[in-house]
C-alpha cells in the first residue's frame, strides 16, 4: 500500500518509506553554500540559514537537501535553493557537475560528519546569489557573513556538524585564508 502510494506515483516518499530507505542505502544530497561575489568575482560574503530544533537548539547551516528519484543534480539544487531562499534569490547554478567537495555524513558519531537521521553522500557547490533571499517559514533568519566573520570560532560553533569545515574549505579554495 505505502509502496503504491509513494513509489509508483512520483519521486516523493511517504514518511514510512523514507524512514525505511534511510536505513538501507546512503541518500544522495546536494548542498549549496550561498555566496556573494564582488564585481570582479572575488568572494565577499557567505550566507547561512538559522533554524531552531528541539535537540540542537539554534543552528546555522547552508542550503541542503535530498536528490529525488529521476531528478538531476542541477534540478535538485534549484529546487532546494528556491525552497530555502525564496523565488527572488536568483542563484547562479554551477555549469559543471564537479563539486567543491563531497561531504559524507553518517548516523554514527565519530565517523565522518554526523547526521543522526541517515547516511548521506552530499555534493557541495558554492552558489552565487544575485537576488534577495527571503528565508522560508521553517527558518528563523538568513544572514550574510563577511569573510572576517567566517573565521570566527564563535560563529563556527553555531553551525551544524560539517558546515564549519565546508566553510573553511570554501574560504581556502577561494584564496581567503584565516
The x, y and z cell numbers of residue 138, run together, are: 521553517
Output 4 or 54, the one with its CB closest to a second copy. Answer: 4
Q: What sign has the CA pseudo-torsion 68, 73, 79, 80?
A: positive
Cα(75)–Cα(32) distance, integer angstroms: 12
The nearer residue to a second copy, 32 or 139, going by C-beta atoms, is 32
Task: Tell me how crowded residue 81 is: count the other CB atoms within 10 A of its CB.
Answer: 24
Least Å distance between CB 115 and a second copy?
A: 12
Q: CB-wise, 25 or 54, nearer to a second copy?
A: 25
In the complex, least distance from residue 50 CB atom to a second copy, rounded to whole angstroms: 22
Sequence-distant (6+) residues with CB within 8 A of 130 are 90, 91, 92
| Chain residues that interact with a second copy, rule: CB under 8 A | 3, 6-8, 13, 17, 20-21, 23-28, 35, 37, 40-43, 66-75, 78, 92-102, 104, 106-108, 112, 119, 121, 123, 126, 128, 165, 168-169, 172-175, 177-178
Q: In whole angstroms, how close is the CB of 157 to a second copy at the nearest point?
A: 13
The residue among 41 and 57 lying less far from a second copy, judged by its C-beta, is 41
Q: How far is the CB of 49 from a second copy (least distance, A)?
A: 21
Collapsed DSSP state (helix, strand, coil) of residue 111: coil
Give whole-number Cα distances, 136 to 52, 77, 130, 148, in Å: 13, 16, 18, 27
In angstroms, give the least distance from the CB of 52 to a second copy: 26
Amino acid at each position: 500500500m505505502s509502496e503504491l502510494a509513494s513509489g509508483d506515483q512520483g519521486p516523493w516518499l511517504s514518511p514510512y518509506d523514507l524512514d525505511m530507505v534511510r536505513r538501507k542505502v546512503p541518500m544522495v544530497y546536494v548542498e549549496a553554500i550561498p555566496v556573494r561575489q564582488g564585481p570582479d568575482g572575488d568572494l565577499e560574503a557567505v550566507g547561512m540559514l538559522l533554524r531552531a530544533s528541539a535537540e540542537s537548539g539554534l543552528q546555522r547551516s547552508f542550503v541542503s537537501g535530498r536528490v529525488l528519484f529521476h531528478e538531476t543534480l542541477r534540478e535538485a539544487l534549484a529546487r532546494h535553493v528556491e525552497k530555502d531562499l525564496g523565488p527572488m534569490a536568483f542563484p547562479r547554478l554551477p555549469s559543471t557537475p564537479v563539486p567543491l567537495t563531497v561531504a559524507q555524513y553518517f548516523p554514527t558519531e565519530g565517523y565522518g560528519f554526523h547526521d543522526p537521521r541517515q547516511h548521506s553522500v552530499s555534493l557541495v557547490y558554492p552558489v552565487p546569489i544575485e537576488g534577495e533571499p527571503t528565508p522560508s517559514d521553517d527558518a528563523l533568519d538568513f544572514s550574510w557573513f563577511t569573510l572576517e566573520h567566517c573565521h570566527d570560532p564563535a560563529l563556527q560553533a553555531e553551525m551544524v556538524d560539517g558546515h564549519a569545515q565546508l566553510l573553511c574549505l570554501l574560504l581556502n579554495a577561494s584564496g581567503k585564508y584565516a
